[in-house]
Chains A and B, each alone.
Chain A
Amino acid sequence: MTAATFSPARPIFCAGCGHFGVGAALEGAVDALAVPRHELMVVAGIGCSGTVQNNMVAYGYHALHGRVLPTATGFALANPALTVVAAGGDGDGYAIGGGHLLHTFRRNPPLVYIVMNNGTYGLTKGQDSPTALVDSSPAFDAIDLGLAIPGTTFLARGFARLPDQLRDLTRQAIEHSRSGRGFAFIEVLSPCVTYNDTYAEWDSGLHNVDEDPDYNTQDRLAALHMSMTLKSEGLQPVGLIYQAPVREGTVARAEAIGPADADVSLSANREQLVSVMESYRIY
């Protein structure tokens, strides 16, 4: 018998919201890789973007504001059988949760993180986010941050209006984490049609590296140079911007053992417990 579980909700997004594209790309990538839905853990943040888990058939968790990455890291380290996808907005990931981003780059846990960047706090009605284009304060660029941290292994940027590429980047990101290579970061340019409609700016302001046959995704320095150069021209790169070569000792998640695999019964651990206790014995 198959037990009934929750029915996915209808998205709360406004008509035309970029987040529809993110949800569709995630569904498409998961299907393309045939990830069993009960092994898919979607961890979402707070804000409009923090509702994607409600719309999917998967295990879903609505994390505290800014704590998507630590929570997702907990899931990923605890059970290697899970495909962990963290998702949230730019306020959640770059403002209140910004500190965790650099440590997650550094730690490189096996999970995917999709940041839906719209430059605004939509759910609270339009305050500036760290990626807002404010004259006196240039926008924060998480890809540049990632390139500057040695532990980073996967950096990509997509655009909600380039759905095929976004689905493909999402698929590559999931493959990257499931193969044990580590943390796969995708920033999705995902306009908020109500408070910060940037479709037109992004339609004309992107440089697609996936279309450049000479672009080397394993050259960190070139990637940083390109990103900085484009920025000075008012552009930004999309596509797979950087992917570290496979490191020695990489173990596919399917082969890995984690705490969730441990037999916690007393009978299985009694001898070991006694031996630890005995090491504190003084007579």
Chain B
Amino acid sequence: MTLTVDAKLADLTVMVAGQGGDGSLTVINHLSRVLGHRGFQMYTSRDVASRIKGGHAAGVMRASIAQRRNVGDHVDLLVAFDAEAIEKGGPRVSPHGVVIFDGSLGPPPAGYLPDSVEVLSIPFGRLAVRDLRRDLFKNSVAYGVACRVFRLEDDEIEANLREGLSRFPDSIIEANVGALHVGLAYADDAGLIDRTWQLDQQEKSPHLLMTGNEALALGFVAAGGRFYTGYPITPATDVLDFLQRWIEKFGGIALQAEDELASINMALGASMAGVRSMTASSGPGIALMQEAVGQAGAAEIPLVIVDCQRSGPSTGMPTKPEQSDIGMLTTGGNGDFPRVVLVPSDPTDAFEIGVTATNVAQELQGPVYVALDQAVAQNSATVALFDIAAVEVKAGGQIGAAQIDQLNEVRRYLINDSGISSWAPPGTAGGMSLVTGNEHDEWGHVSTEPGNRVRMMDKRARKVDQVLGDLPGALLGGDPDAAIGMLGVGLESGPLLEAAERLSDHGNPVSVLIPRTLWPVPKETLDFINAHDLTYVVEHNSSGQLASVLRSVGAPADRIASLLRYDGLPFTAGDLVERFLAAEAGQ
């Protein structure tokens, strides 16, 4: 009956689960911050139902010395607000794990936990109602008990809670602090303090705790983005929330439109007015926007379109991650037009790609997609401070009155070697133009003349060559000399890098490539595939969309094998190791 662990804990996964509204995600946020203060790298994910309250809701958090962008294979500490939390989360609890269960309504259900697991039954709900008269405060009781397991100091526990609640009125903060002390006292009375874990203490360096959505939105603003439109949709709404909170301070506007059609067309208007613009949505909304993405391509209007991919098709599973829009993003829309698709794997990437996408859209005068998935979009992670001083704000072909004064004529769609024509936003004296998604001549007049048509299509296609040098390169991992490769983007990156370490330790070295540019497919991606006997393309969809894209540009089919998942759950590193070994055994 002792929980003391001899070794100092350096890698810990905690799950907090209950019904939506119990405050599981709040406890996870408090714990991530307090362990972050201890110098741990944090990664948090959520598993929630698409409803306001109720339904099983779990937050999972990993605290580790090494930077891990995924949760552990096993849960070391489960804080369970109800029986369902034990039923759903129990099987993931490590044999050496600890479960803190809200025993207000009786003992935990039997048969879901390994026998060796220690279960501490503590009536959070009853304590909250008894001492504080509101069930709502039970999450602060639970937070206190969980902190005791980590043997944290009272001062840091309380200070962290106050910091986490700082946007609430004092009365709310004090009530929660009261609840926290109820939890701490109960844990002490129960003798918990004698049997707790010892966390490894880390050197601290400055870190942020952000989601991909937040980091991407900040990157957009840093690169001069000043107009954003969105229509609420999971898991993209956080981008709207972030920008509604911050963009006004930069003189910008973040607007909630009546639908996705309005969103993207408002952004097109603002962009043509010379204001760098972005819209975000998820698969269903991006599907609605396809016509306008083609308009940005044909009429040559800079635009960043963010797709926080969720499980599809149709409405699918709104809160679950998938990467099943890759086909739509790389080939969707009517007609042929140049486009770029970038894909970040974590908040640092998301910030940098937010900057890059905004600049590349400006240079390309066309659509640039940023493809996130629900996990990259919404999971938060600790990241080093962003390198704001390194941000560049590029004008592309946008010119002003002074430059027009130097010109003999202004042809909006001037055909030249680069394909990139200069343009002036309305309001610029002397720069008047006609902009249209109809095929047009150099002046913007509608034209169906066959020779002009071919010259214009070719001109637009040429523009992509001008931005290739600005597109982000891939991240590398694993053993570069291995004969077998693994390739994946977005939420696959964390588990892939960790799985490669483990496989290497067990005599199965693999080399890992995490592309950050999906389209146009960079040469380095094809080189990687050609340099390995076999590359496993790991992706969250049922048809191998990324593998299809790679084959479509010349990756040999016999050098690619797909490792697919589409059940709504992310891979853990352990899952990938198993899937890899099984696939290798079958080759």
For the complex, give the distance between the alpha carbons of A54 and B434 in Å.
7
Partner of A60, one of B275, B425, B444: B444
- Chain A residue nearest to B292 in the complex (CB): A64
Write the residues of chain B forming the contact surface with A, with a CB cutoff of 8 angstroms.
32-33, 36-37, 39, 204, 206-210, 214, 218, 221-222, 224, 226-227, 229, 246, 249-253, 255, 257-259, 261-263, 265-277, 291-292, 295, 299, 382, 385-386, 388-389, 391-393, 404-410, 412, 425-438, 443-446
Contact of B408 with A3 in the complex, beta carbons under 8 Å: yes
Write the residues of chain A forming the contact surface with B, with a CB cutoff of 8 angstroms.
1-7, 9, 36-41, 43, 53-54, 57-64, 66-67, 69-79, 81-82, 99-100, 103, 257-266, 269-270, 272-274, 276-277, 280-283
- Chain A residue nearest to B269 in the complex (CB): A74
Contact of A269 with B222 in the complex, beta carbons under 8 Å: yes
Contact of A79 with B426 in the complex, beta carbons under 8 Å: yes
- Chain A residue nearest to B163 in the complex (CB): A282
Cβ of A251 to closest chain B Cβ, rounded Å: 15
Also in contact, A269 and B426, with CB within 8 A (given A54-B434, A74-B267): no
Also in contact, A273 and B221, with CB within 8 A (given A67-B261, A75-B426): yes
For the complex, give the distance between the alpha carbons of A3 and B399 in Å.
13
Also in contact, A82 and B427, with CB within 8 A (given A6-B445, A259-B226): yes
Interface-central residue, A72, A103, A274, A276, by most chain B CB under 10 Å: A276
For the complex, give the distance between the alpha carbons of A262 and B277 in Å.
13
Also in contact, A4 and B36, with CB within 8 A (given A82-B273, A262-B251, A276-B246): no
Contact of B427 with A269 in the complex, beta carbons under 8 Å: no
For the complex, give the distance between the alpha carbons of A227 and B386 in Å.
60
Also in contact, A1 and B246, with CB within 8 A (given A74-B267, A270-B388): no
For the complex, give the distance between the alpha carbons of A36 and B388 in Å.
40
Contact of B444 with A6 in the complex, beta carbons under 8 Å: yes
Contacts of B277 in A (CB 8 A): 74, 78
Partner of A283, one of B206, B266, B274: B206
Q: Does more than half of chain B's interface fall in helix, strand or loop, or is it mixed?
A: mixed
Q: Does more than half of chain A's interface fall in helix, strand or loop, or is it mixed?
A: mixed
Partner of A261, one of B37, B209, B251, B404: B251
Contacts of A81 in B (CB 8 A): 427
For the complex, give the distance between the alpha carbons of A38 and B433 in Å.
10
Contact of B432 with A6 in the complex, beta carbons under 8 Å: yes
- Chain A residue nearest to B257 in the complex (CB): A70
17 new A-B pairs (CB below 8 Å) besides A3-B407, A5-B409, A74-B277?
A3-B404, A6-B412, A38-B426, A38-B427, A43-B269, A61-B272, A61-B434, A73-B266, A78-B275, A261-B251, A262-B226, A266-B222, A273-B218, A273-B391, A276-B221, A280-B210, A282-B36
Contact of B431 with A1 in the complex, beta carbons under 8 Å: no
Q: List 30 A-B contacts (CB under 8 A).
A: A3-B404, A3-B409, A3-B410, A5-B430, A6-B444, A38-B432, A39-B427, A54-B434, A59-B431, A60-B432, A61-B272, A71-B266, A71-B269, A74-B265, A74-B270, A74-B271, A79-B273, A259-B251, A260-B275, A260-B425, A264-B276, A266-B391, A273-B218, A274-B388, A281-B385, A282-B37, A282-B207, A282-B382, A283-B37, A283-B204
